[in-house]
Amino acid sequence: MTIITHSRKTGTLIEGTAKGDGSNIILKAGGWRWSRNLGTWYVPNSRDHAARGHLINSTAEQLRAAGFIVDVDIDDTARPAAEVEQDKAERAGERAEALAAKAERRATAAEQAQEAERKAAARLPEGGEPIKIGHHSETRHRNAIAKADRATRRAIDAGTEAKQAAERAETAALATVRRYNPVTVANRIETLQADKRRAERRLNGHTRTVFTVGEQRYTESHDPAQGGAAELLRARIQELADQINHWEGVRAVQVNAGHANNYGPENISKGDQVKFRGSWYEVRRVNRKSVTIPSMVGGSWTDTVPYHELSGQQPAAF
């Protein structure tokens, strides 16, 4: 029997397939990938995300049509945000270590290829002596040139692979640092809050203005969600609330440690100087979530900058 499973911890996996049974054609076409580490097929980016019901059901139907007996087991219970982030950090660390080891192997291979290139070049006649056509040395000379060319190509390729591996290792090592960048954290909180408001509107129903002509407003109304849709939305809202709480806690720690600012309309006034991306600007207007400053491109234009992206503030008297 073939079983398609989904949980937030493991993502969407499939068990019971075998090499040569034809399942790979269906799975590849559906966007599944093979994992050598897991020894099974999986849906990319499915870990700690809601189950993709359409993809799972479509895959199951196609496999059944091909003669497979398929069962589906879905547990879509969200994990606590703190647990999710801990797992992500651990996986990022493991990936960084693996890529660093790979980069070291590639660097060693590049050094060996360069040494082989030097030895191959040393076998060539000194001074770039031309090939003596018809001479007994012609074949040996041509072979030496060909061997040197191949060694040069291998050295170049190995050097390129070593550089790429080092770059990937460096990127992986910085992944968690970037994820916890104070500005990134603040942006994530705003995104999660917007997602939560949107889910609440869908759950409770809402009316919105589509367009306005003169004083006439044209609106559309959406009824509250019902049944299974409402249950899914309630679960989603609870999940988002947990994520918001987690990241607000992270930001509070960053603010207390001095790694993030705590600016807002209560401590910035019109005429103050604020620092944004290394330059100082006069505050033209104080808004609820941002300040208005002169445009960085000059002229009479202005830009709005979220408070959490500011890196300094001085009172107007400065």
| Residue 167 clears pLDDT 60, i.e. is over it | yes
CA-based nearest residue to 247, from 190, 206, 170, 291? 190
Q: What percent of the chain has pLDDT over 70?
A: 96
pLDDT grade for 210, boundaries at 50, 70 and 90: confident
Query: Which of the pair, 122 or 156, is modelled with greater confidence?
Result: 156
DSSP structure class, residue 43: -
Mean predicted lDDT score pLDDT of the chain: 91
3-state secondary structure of 71: strand
| Residue 132 clears pLDDT 70, i.e. is over it | no
pLDDT, average across residues 189-216:
91
pLDDT per position as a tens digit, 20-58 = 899 999 999 999 999 998 999 999 999 999 999 999 999
| Alpha-carbon distances of 211 from 21, 189, 215, rounded to whole Å | 56, 30, 11
CB 106 within 8 A of CB 161: yes
Instruction: Determine how many CB atoms are found less than 10 A away from the CB of residue 71.
Output: 12
CB 141 within 8 A of CB 131: yes
Tokens of 275: 């620092």
Q: Is the dihedral of CA 239, 240, 244, 247 positive or negative?
A: positive
pLDDT, average across residues 84-113:
93
Write down the pLDDT at residue 129.
Answer: 67
CA-based nearest residue to 312, from 270, 279, 265? 279
Residue located via tokens 């890529």: 99
Cα 215-219-221 angle, rounded to 5 deg: 155
pLDDT grade for 239, boundaries at 50, 70 and 90: very high
Q: Which residues make Cβ contacts (< 8 Å) with residue 251, sequence separation at least 6?
A: 182, 185, 186, 189, 260
